[in-house]
Structure 1
Amino acid sequence: MPATPAWPPRSAPRLFVEQRLEEGGSVPVEGNQAHYLSRVMRVGEGDAVILCDNQTGEWAAKVASAGKRRIELSVVEKLRERESVPDFWLCPALLKKDRFDLVLEKATELGVARIAPVVTRRCVADKLNLDRARTIVTEAAEQCARTALPDIAGVEKLGTLLREWPTGRALYFADELGGQPALEAFAAHDGPAGLLIGPEGGFDDAERELIRAHPEAKAISLGPRILRGETAAIAAISAWMASRGDWA
């Protein structure tokens, strides 16, 4: 006798929705999400969709009705609680658009709790479309089965970030001129932390002096090679997650 297929199937599409989810609830889906379900995933009545609300966790739902512009989903059961997110912030200097998109995507996949973009003197960009950034992190979270979205702060100048930095939260900054080996620095602090990554041209001397003077700042080295901003962010997040985050 053939085994009963698992439900919901692993191939079921995943969506984050703004509505708080509960068993038996009805969730209307319109706009781009409806287009994705109907035109890309070609769901029909009775098909499974996995939903997350960034509040309660992950839920299985069924398509109650499917139209071209609107789909009604019926919430069936809870699958997982919202994940516990390591208290790690990424503070990346703005990069060129495609490179910063990569930072947003990979930081989400790797599990950061908050992304706080900064502007430094050598940044080639000074603005960020927050709606577009939120779309990127949401799609990344859907792809890697996260049940929580990272918070995205508005862009701040480096000086503002440093003035408002919370007491007791380590601020690691990747300094191309050198610092304590990253894994060694991470091992020395068991608590909330953040990571500051510079722009394409790095920090200038005045910025480096300002950062190093901050009581929570800890200069770290990411090895003998100079890394691009996006590579440094991905590498350092991975190292922290492996030593202090939820990879451990």
Structure 2
Amino acid sequence: MSIPRVHMEQALAEGAECALTPAQAHHLGVVLRRAPGAALRAFNATDGEFEAELTALRKERGAVRIGPRRREPVVEPELRALIAGLKRDAMGWAVEKATELGATRIIPVLTRRCVAEGGKTERLATIARGAAEQCERLSVPVVDPARPLHAVLDAWDGAPLLVAAERRESRPLLEFLPGLSAPCAFLVGPEGGFERAELDDLARRPFVSLASLGPRILRAETALVAGLSAMSLSLDHPPDASGTRAPHVQPRPG
């Protein structure tokens, strides 16, 4: 039986007692059917991952005792995922996959052809937390409230932004990867694609590069996975002095 992982907002240190959120207590007790004395893993990006024990559980309240540290905190490259508003299930799936692929911030954006309003921030943040617990990363991406695309672009800090431009002359995404460094971001449009005026506005921004994912037209969530996968691998395997990307093996915790 696998040992559940729980993300804790509190500071973690051996011997500390930490309270579970109502959602965590419900999940452990009702869904996973754990009882006091069960082994857990407690983690956050600041302190790392620790052995833990479930010490109390009643309805939607619970507590854990923190044991020895298993993994030190690590610095993650800043990779932002900008996702045009999708329907509820597709948006949840996209947030889950963006979390698994290492996105550190998820920014729902509203475009002219959006079929949905970007989803409730609290729900999407819960999905991101659950995905982080499952995929063994130490951090949980920040999920921003949905905002109009032009407002996000107007407030942008200049980090390179690659845009999946399916119907516009653009360079293959792979051509941008050798010089890619964090912070950086990837944007996918809505199910109906960007309007021409939106692509024109994007192309004028000095920090934007229009990128092609190949000859086929992909669903928005498929394009997100394709782009983030390539960018995440590139950031996790930076080139050495010769320009060759060194192999990297992430040890799996025992």
**Normalised by the size of structure 2, how large is the TM-score?**
0.87
Contact 1:30/1:70 (<8 A) preserved: yes
2-side partners of 1:183 and 1:27: how far apart? 44
Change (3 A) 1:66 1:163: closer
Task: Give the root-mean-square deviation of aligned CA atoms.
Answer: 1.8
3-state SS, counterpart of residue 160 of structure 1: helix
1-side partners of 2:36 and 2:156: how far apart? 50
2-side partners of 1:94 and 1:70: how far apart? 34
Change (3 A) 1:30 1:102: closer
Q: 1:131 aligns with which of 106, 116, 122?
A: 122
Instruction: Specify the code of the residue in structure 2 equivalent to 1:50.
Output: R
Contact 2:164/2:212 (<8 A) preserved: yes
1:170 aligns with 2:160: yes
Could you report, residue by residue, the CA deviation over 1:175-233 in whole angstroms, capped at 9, with x for unpaired residues? 01241110111223334211111001111010010000000111100001000100000
1-side partners of 2:87 and 2:235: how far apart? 30
Of 152-161 and 221-230, more deviation after overlay is shown by 152-161
Contact 1:85/1:112 (<8 A) preserved: no
Contact 2:84/2:118 (<8 A) preserved: no
Could you report, residue by residue, the CA deviation over 1:75-134 in whole angstroms, capped at 9, with x for unpaired residues? 111111233211111111111111111110000001111111110000011243111011
1:211 aligns with 2:211: no
Alignment of 1:40-119 (within 5 A): 40-119=31-110
Contact 2:79/2:182 (<8 A) preserved: no
Q: Which residue of 2 aligns with 1:149?
A: 140
CA apart distance, 1:39: 2.8
Contact 1:199/1:229 (<8 A) preserved: yes
3-state SS, counterpart of residue 37 of structure 2: coil
Instruction: Specify the code of the residue in structure 2 equivalent to 1:170.
Output: P
Change (3 A) 1:48 1:173: same
3-state SS, counterpart of residue 236 of structure 2: coil
CA apart distance, 1:30: 5.1
Which aligned segments of 4 or more residues in structure 1 are displaced greater than 4 angstroms? none
2-side partners of 1:174 and 1:127: how far apart? 18
Q: 1:18 aligns with which of 9, 33, 36?
A: 9
Instruction: Specify the code of the residue in structure 2 equivalent to 1:92.
Output: I
Q: Which residue of 1 aligns with 2:231?
A: 240
Instruction: Specify the code of the residue in structure 1 equivalent to 2:223.
Output: A
Change (3 A) 1:145 1:124: same
Q: 1:198 aligns with which of 162, 170, 189?
A: 189
Of 83-92 and 107-116, more deviation after overlay is shown by 83-92
Contact 1:187/1:244 (<8 A) preserved: no
Change (3 A) 1:65 1:234: same
Instruction: Specify the code of the residue in structure 2 equivalent to 1:217.
Output: V
Change (3 A) 1:92 1:42: same
**Normalised by the size of structure 1, how large is the TM-score?**
0.89
CA apart distance, 1:57: 1.4
Change (3 A) 1:125 1:25: same
